[in-house]
Each structure stands twice: as structure tokens, then as C-alpha cells.
């Protein structure tokens, strides 16, 4: 995995190497093994390399022998061996063993349609000198990032926004529409980012830049058409198992050691069990634990460690650990977050790096693809209940949701009914599944300043999202509609980004995701809904397919999503004060007033409430983390200051590396 950057000048002026150098230096954390720059008149590429495949021969930017094509590439093409064989049969000759060279030859053979043949995770740019254009593409699920901006006379792109900010004419401003969307959906709707004028190339999209014009199109679509109802459960399970085994084997292709995360949940256990039982690869696993036992899953991790006999290492996380690392975490996420969950993932990837590994397999994507989240269960109950709204028994079903959330479990049926928005008039909404979550998140906007509220008064994030839904959305089963919303919004915008790529690459670690192999995703979209969730039994088909590999205690345990302590990581309720001076500084009335995004009085009341240990609910936790992370971004990336966790927190005018 690597960092990429580039400049394409529409005024035909030559690209300055110094600007490319400045951009790629900000991405050293993504690839500390080597770096390179290539310029050709008005086009210049830069690359920061994490060497994983063909350690000696895969240097980038890479050119074809005739010099007509140049590529800068971040990611992996897992089926490069098979594609190489096909190309050789057509007469292509190779100078390296890298997948990067396969991309170049595939582009020669198929042009922009080459991505249809790739099984992998990628963001790359190819300069085609003959056509005088640059072709850029991003993988189907949005695993690897690609952001870009246009300024007078040029278009610039990179793996991360901080590389664009290394250019002197790129403005640093908050996009309030993106802030509005993030405080609704947890992530801006692509192509927006938190920064005005900086866009991301959406997942499954490609782009051509030519003569100062940009053309963007979607090359792959999620399509839910559950069918083949006559197929038996065993038949579906056998195909899923074969696909997952192959997807895992493909993702073990590397010239360095590959480790695996082991959370104690079903998905990472499946990945680790496949490595143990269907490959000859050594099995080294890594986990994060918590001092706060409400979040800790170490007992389940230990059970899988014993079952698989792994060489295992663990990092234990305290409130202070999360609060201390949070400024660094936000420097990598480059967008506000509403939970601290990325912070322990950053510490976990550091453990992997310190253990001399560069690659880890994870179970990400299984919940979205195979129907594991509680929001799917929640939707099913709410629809079931809406058919008999006066039922006295059905409210009890809501107690089956989120068993790990003590405050919610203590609420009355009337409160739960209101909380989960059992409203007949919303039954036909395309967003029925997500309205409770988005309604709760939107309440955080009460903290916005009067000026921000005024500027956003006529915006409707849900209408904007609805305009992006595919034509066939209304034809899908409601369960699949909920899956789609998770797969195109929260997964690429938060799970794979803030909690995924950015936390792993912050420590030069590449994550690989067998459940997001596009063949698995396409297969899962055809599975009958009853085999995804049987009654309220989530990921039913996966559990059935892997029943001989995973102990019953793991397969049948209640679903517990990965979470981390939020407000307590920043505020010590025993001492009734912030744990770190930077928290005190960034949430002070003066700093809030200066940045102008949030109401100082309202934020002060929230902080005081948390300090005094009064009932802290989900909304309070999300508000504190969201406001603090936004303030950190403004301080670090807009104003160019560094934030440390020492007593004297905010250093003056230190530009980000």
C-alpha cells in the first residue's frame, strides 16, 4: 500500500518537481520504503512506496518501455498472476513481477475498461502521452482513497488531503454542506469532503482528465436481485464458503508476512480460521482490549486463539490512551468522527508495525455484505411492528436490539417506540431503515452556531442523498435497501476510511478484506433475504457455512459491534475536569467563538454535564467527540497548527508535515 500524488496542468506549463516533492513528503507514513517522482511536461506523478509485492522491481512511478504510459498506483491487484498469464499469451513481455506493471499492460489491452478485470483494492492514475490525457480510477468498494482539487491552470490529486494542502494555491476552508451531511450520515456524501473545493473520486468510479476537462463515470454498480429461491441452504453455503476461501487465499499473496486481526467476533474469526485450515501461511493474530470491561472482548479472543493456535499479540487501551492519541488520529482521518473507535485501531496497527508486519487481513465488510448489523434487525422489527402498531407484545422485540447498550435497555416500551421512530407515515420512505440513526445524529446540529445554522437553513441532506439513489432502489427488498445504504455511505465514508485505511496507513500497514472481494459482494447480493437474517439471527448463511470451523460460543454469541469509550476518554468524571489540556483549550468558549462553528454556551453546558457525571447518553457522547474532532481539524488542517497532548497544548503556526 502506498501514497500517490499528481499534478495535471491544463495551461501546458511544466510541472514543478518541488511541488510534487512537497506533496509526497506529507504521505511518508503511507510508504516509508521508497519514493519517486516522474514529470513529463504538464503532467507529474509522485509515489511513496510500501513494498509488499516484488520488493526490488516495483518502484514507482512506473513507465512502459516506450515511455508512452506512466502509472502511480496505491493498492493491490490480487489476481495479477492470472492477468499476467493472460497478457503473456497475447505477447506482452514483463520486466518485473509487480502488479503495477500488470495494470500498465492491462490498460494497453483494454483501455479504461481494464478495471473490470481487476480483483483488488486500488487508486491509481495513468498518464497516456499518446492520448494526452490522464486516466484515474478507484476500487469498487472504496477501500483506497483518492481526492482531488482544481485550481486555476491545474488539477491535483492525492491519497490524502494533506498532500493537496502542500500546494500554495489550494485554499483551506470548511465545507459547511459537508459538515451538515457528516452530522447527519456520519460522513459527507461523495464527492464532497470536509474541505471546500476538495472532492473525492467516489468508489467504483473512474475519471479522465483532458484539456482541463474532467469526465467521471461509474464503472460498477451494486445490484440486489435476490433470486434462485429453489436453491437449498447447503447449496448457498457451499458456494459462499468456496468464495471466501479463494478470496482469502488471493489476499495472502505478498512477498512479506501477512497477519490477521482477531476481534473475538464472527467475521475476523472466520478469516483467521480459513488461513489456519486452507493455507500454509503462518497465523499471527493481533487484538485490541480495553480496561473498561464494557468494551472488552478478550475472553472471546482467547477462545479463538486456543482454537486456532495462533501466535497472538494484544494492545490494551485505557481512556488516557485514546485521549492522548486522538489529535494524531484526527490528523489522519481528515474528517470529523462521532466515535473514538478509530483511535484503538490506530494503536492496533502500531502494534502490527512494531511486530515487523506490513499487511493484515480483517473481517471488515461482512456485516454490510451478509446482513450482520443491528440496524438491519431493527428495520425488520420496525416494519413488523408497523403492521400492528397497537400490539402489546411487539414492543418487547425492541429489547432484542442493542443488548450491549445498558441505557437503552433500561428504557420503557413507550420510549423505545419513540426512539426507533415507529411511525406509519414513514413506512414508505426510502430511508426507513436509517431514519432513527440519522434523526439521532442530526440532533447534534443543535450545537451549530447561529451563523452556521443560518447558512444551512435551506439545505436538505436527505433530499440530496435521495437524488443519488439508483433507479432500481425502489424495486429491492427493504432489507437490501438498508444494506445498500450501509454499503455506499457508512462503509466507505467511515468504516473503511476513518476507521480503516487512515488508521492502518498511519502506521504504514495495509489492510486486506476477503469479505469485500467483488465476487463475494455480487454473490451476497443474490442471496435470499431469509438466508442472510433468519428470524433475528444475523449472518445466518455465514454461520451455517462455517459451522465446522468456528466454535458455537463464537457463532452463537450476541452480536457486539466494535466500540470504544467516548466522552470518558477526554473527561475525568472523578476529577470533574478534562484529562488533557488540548481538550480544555479547544472546547473553551474563546476557541469555539474564534472558529465559529459551534455555540460556546451549549458546548460548555455539555462539557459541564459530562464532568459532573450526570447521565451521559449516546447523543452526548457523539456530540462531544464530533465537536472536539471538528475543532481539531480546524486547528490542525485549516489553521496549520500542531496539537500535542502536553500541558502547553497548542504550538503556534507550525505547518503540518
Residue 649: per-residue pLDDT: 41
Residue 421: per-residue pLDDT: 65
Residue 532: per-residue pLDDT: 95
In this predicted structure, the answer to whether residue 314 has a pLDDT above a threshold of 70 is yes
In this predicted structure, the answer to whether residue 95 has a pLDDT above a threshold of 60 is yes
Residue showing cell 455555540? 599
- More reliable by pLDDT, 645 or 603: 603
- With left for phi above 0 and alpha for psi between -120 and 50, is residue 77 left, alpha or beta? beta
Average pLDDT over residues 469-490: 96
At 652, the pLDDT band (50, 70, 90 cuts) reads very low
**What CA–CA distances, in Å, run from 416 to 23, 332, 401, 434, 484?**
50, 37, 10, 15, 25
Query: What is the Cα–Cα distance from 135 to 208, expressed in whole angstroms?
Result: 5
Contact between 128 and 135 (Cβ < 8 Å): yes
Phi and psi, residue 98, nearest 5°? -85, 155
Average pLDDT over residues 194-199: 98
C-alpha grid cell, residue 363: 473481517
Query: What is the Cα–Cα distance from 517 to 243, expressed in whole angstroms?
Result: 9
Q: What is the dihedral of CA 575, 579, 582, 587, to 10 degrees?
A: -50
In this predicted structure, the answer to whether residue 657 has a pLDDT above a threshold of 50 is no
At 140, the pLDDT band (50, 70, 90 cuts) reads very high
Q: Considering only CA atoms, which of 177, 166, 183 is closest in space to residue 199? A: 177
In this predicted structure, the answer to whether residue 174 has a pLDDT above a threshold of 80 is yes
Tell me: cis bond preceding 557? Omega within 30 of 0 counts: no
Query: What is the Cα–Cα distance from 77 to 120, expressed in whole angstroms?
Result: 4
Query: What is the Cα–Cα distance from 549 to 274, expressed in whole angstroms?
Result: 8
Average pLDDT over residues 196-201: 98
DSSP type of residue 195: B
Q: Considering only CA atoms, which of 572, 567, 559 is closest in space to residue 629? A: 567
Binding-site residues for L-glutamine sit at: 99
Query: What is the Cα–Cα distance from 252 to 258, expressed in whole angstroms?
Result: 7
Q: Considering only CA atoms, which of 338, 336, 8 is closest in space to residue 175? A: 336
Residue 499: per-residue pLDDT: 96
Binding-site residues sit at: 99, 288
- Is residue 316 within a helix (H) or strand (E), and if so which, with residue range? strand 311-317
Residue 201: per-residue pLDDT: 98
Compute CA 374 distance to the chain's CA centroid, rounded to the nearest angstrom: 19
The topology (CATH level 3) of 2-218 is: 3.60.20
Average pLDDT over residues 319-328: 97
Query: What is the Cα–Cα distance from 3 to 159, expressed in whole angstroms?
Result: 6
| Domain locations in the chain as residue ranges | 2-218
Q: What is the dihedral of CA 456, 457, 459, 462, to 10 degrees?
A: 110
Residue 575: per-residue pLDDT: 94
- The per-residue pLDDT for range 391-412, each reduced to its tens digit, is 766 666 776 777 666 666 677 7
- The per-residue pLDDT for range 202-218, each reduced to its tens digit, is 999 999 999 999 999 99
In this predicted structure, the answer to whether residue 655 has a pLDDT above a threshold of 50 is no
Query: What is the Cα–Cα distance from 50 to 590, expressed in whole angstroms?
Result: 42
- More reliable by pLDDT, 242 or 55: 242
- Is residue 272 within a helix (H) or strand (E), and if so which, with residue range? helix 266-278
- The per-residue pLDDT for range 115-131, each reduced to its tens digit, is 999 999 999 999 999 99
Query: What is the Cα–Cα distance from 451 to 462, expressed in whole angstroms?
Result: 22
Compute CA 89 distance to the chain's CA centroid, rounded to the nearest angstrom: 38
- The per-residue pLDDT for range 503-528, each reduced to its tens digit, is 999 999 999 999 999 999 999 999 99
Q: How many CB atoms lie within 10 A of CB 621?
A: 19
Contact between 458 and 637 (Cβ < 8 Å): no
The model's pTM = 0.94
Residue 647: per-residue pLDDT: 44
Compute CA 197 distance to the chain's CA centroid, rounded to the nearest angstrom: 21
- When the pLDDT of each residue in the chain is averaged and rounded to a whole number, the result is 92
β-sheet bridge partners, residue 360: 259, 511
**What CA–CA distances, in Å, run from 273 to 283, 307, 410, 584?**
9, 9, 37, 45
Rg (the chain; Cα; Å): 24
Average pLDDT over residues 457-471: 97
Binding-site residues for ATP sit at: 288
- More reliable by pLDDT, 615 or 588: 588
Listed range (79-88, 189-198, 373-382, 434-443) with the worst mean pLDDT:
373-382
What b-and-e string marks burial along 337-355, b requiring 16 or more CB atoms within 10 Å of the CB? bbbbbbbbbbbbbbbbbee
Residues catalogued as catalytic: 2
DSSP code per residue over 100-167: HHHHHHHHHHHGGGGGGG--EEEEEEEEETTTTEEEEEE-TT--S--EEEEETTEEEEESSHHHHTTS
C-alpha grid cell, residue 436: 432513527
Average pLDDT over residues 344-364: 96
In this predicted structure, the answer to whether residue 171 has a pLDDT above a threshold of 70 is yes
Residue 422: per-residue pLDDT: 67
Amino acid at each position: 500500500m502506498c501514497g500517490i500524488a499528481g499534478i495535471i496542468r491544463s495551461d501546458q506549463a511544466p510541472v514543478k518537481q518541488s511541488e510534487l516533492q512537497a506533496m509526497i513528503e506529507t504521505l511518508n507514513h503511507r510508504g516509508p520504503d521508497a519514493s519517486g517522482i516522474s514529470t513529463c511536461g504538464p503532467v507529474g506523478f509522485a509515489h511513496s512506496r510500501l513494498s509488499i509485492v516484488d520488493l526490488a522491481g516495483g518502484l514507482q512511478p512506473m513507465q512502459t518501455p516506450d515511455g508512452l504510459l506512466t502509472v502511480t498506483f496505491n493498492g493491490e491487484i490480487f489476481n495479477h498472476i492470472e492477468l499476467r498469464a493472460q497478457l503473456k499469451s497475447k505477447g506482452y513481455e514483463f520486466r518485473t513481477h509487480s502488479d503495477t506493471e500488470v495494470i500498465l499492460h492491462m490498460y494497453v489491452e483494454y483501455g479504461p475498461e481494464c478495471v473490470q478485470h481487476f480483483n483488488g483494492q486500488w487508486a491509481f492514475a495513468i498518464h497516456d502521452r499518446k492520448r494526452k490525457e490522464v486516466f484515474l480510477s478507484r476500487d469498487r468498494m472504496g477501500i483506497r482513497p483518492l481526492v482531488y482539487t482544481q485550481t486555476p491552470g491545474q488539477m491535483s490529486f492525492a491519497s490524502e488531503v494533506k498532500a493537496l494542502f502542500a500546494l500554495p494555491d489550494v485554499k483551506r476552508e470548511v465545507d459547511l454542506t459537508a459538515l451538515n451531511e457528516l452530522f447527519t450520515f456520519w460522513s459527507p456524501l461523495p464527492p464532497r469532503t470536509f474541505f471546500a473545493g476538495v472532492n473525492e473520486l467516489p468508489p467504483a468510479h473512474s475519471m479522465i482528465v483532458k484539456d482541463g476537462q474532467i469526465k467521471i463515470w461509474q464503472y460498477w454498480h451494486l445490484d440486489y436481485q435476490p433470486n434462485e429461491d429453489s436453491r437449498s441452504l447447503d447449496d448457498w453455503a457451499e458456494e459462499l464458503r468456496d468464495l471466501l476461501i479463494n478470496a482469502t487465499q488471493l489476499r495472502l499473496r505478498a512477498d512479506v508476512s501477512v497477519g490477521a486481526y482477531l476481534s473475538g467476533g464472527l467475521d475476523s474469526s472466520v478469516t483467521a480460521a480459513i488461513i489456519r485450515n486452507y493455507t500454509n501461511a503462518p497465523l499471527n493474530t493481533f487484538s485490541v482490549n480495553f480496561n473498561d470491561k464494557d468494551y472488552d472482548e478478550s475472553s472471546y479472543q482467547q477462545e479463538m486463539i486456543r482454537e486456532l493456535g495462533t501466535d497472538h499479540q494484544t494492545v490494551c487501551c485505557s481512556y488516557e490512551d485514546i485521549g492522548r492519541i486522538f489529535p494524531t488520529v484526527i490528523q489522519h482521518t481528515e474528517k470529523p468522527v462521532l466515535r473514538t473507535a478509530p483511535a484503538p485501531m490506530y494503536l492496533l496497527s502500531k502494534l502490527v508495525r512494531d511486530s515487523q508486519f506490513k499487511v493484515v487481513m480483517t473481517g471488515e465488510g461482512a456485516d454490510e455484505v451478509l446482513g450482520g448489523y443491528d440496524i438491519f434487525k431493527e428495520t425488520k422489527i420496525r416494519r413488523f411492528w408497523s403492521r400492528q402498531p397497537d400490539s402489546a407484545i411487539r414492543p418487547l422485540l425492541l429489547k432484542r436490539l442493542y443488548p450491549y447498550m445498558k441505557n437503552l435497555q433500561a428504557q420503557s416500551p413507550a420510549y423505545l417506540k419513540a426512539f426507533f421512530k415507529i411511525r406509519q407515515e414513514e413506512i414508505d420512505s426510502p430511508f426507513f431503515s436509517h431514519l432513527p440513526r440519522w434523526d439521532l445524529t442530526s440532533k447534534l446540529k443543535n450545537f451549530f452556531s447561529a451563523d452556521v445554522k443560518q447558512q444551512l437553513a435551506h439545505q436538505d441532506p436527505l433530499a440530496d442523498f435521495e437524488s443519488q439513489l439508483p433507479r432500481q432502489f425502489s424495486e429491492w427488498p427493504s432489507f437490501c435497501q438498508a444494506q445498500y445504504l450501509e454499503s455506499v455511505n457508512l462503509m466507505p465514508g467511515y468504516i473503511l476510511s476513518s476507521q480503516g485505511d487512515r488508521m492502518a496507513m498511519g502506521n504504514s500497514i495495509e489492510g486486506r478484506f476477503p469479505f469485500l472481494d467483488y465476487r463475494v459482494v455480487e454473490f451476497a447480493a443474490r442471496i435470499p433475504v431469509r438466508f442472510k437474517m433468519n428470524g433475528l439471527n444475523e449472518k445466518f448463511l455465514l454461520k451455517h457455512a462455517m459451522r465446522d470451523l468456528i466454535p458455537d460460543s463464537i457463532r452463537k454469541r450476541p452480536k457486539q459491534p466494535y466500540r470504544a469509550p467516548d466522552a470518558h476518554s477526554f473527561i475525568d468524571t472523578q476529577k470533574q475536569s478534562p484529562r488533557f489540556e488540548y481538550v480544555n483549550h479547544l472546547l473553551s468558549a474563546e476557541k469555539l467563538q474564534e472558529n465559529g462553528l459551534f455555540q460556546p454556551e451549549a458546548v460548555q453546558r455539555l462539557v459541564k454535564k459530562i464532568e459532573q457525571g450526570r447521565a451521559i447518553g449516546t447523543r452526548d457522547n457523539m456530540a462531544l467527540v464530533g465537536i472536539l474532532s471538528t475543532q481539531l481539524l480546524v486547528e490542525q488542517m485549516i489553521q496549520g497548527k500542531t496539537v500535542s497532548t502536553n500541558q502547553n497544548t497548542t504550538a503556534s503556526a507550525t505547518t503540518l508535515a
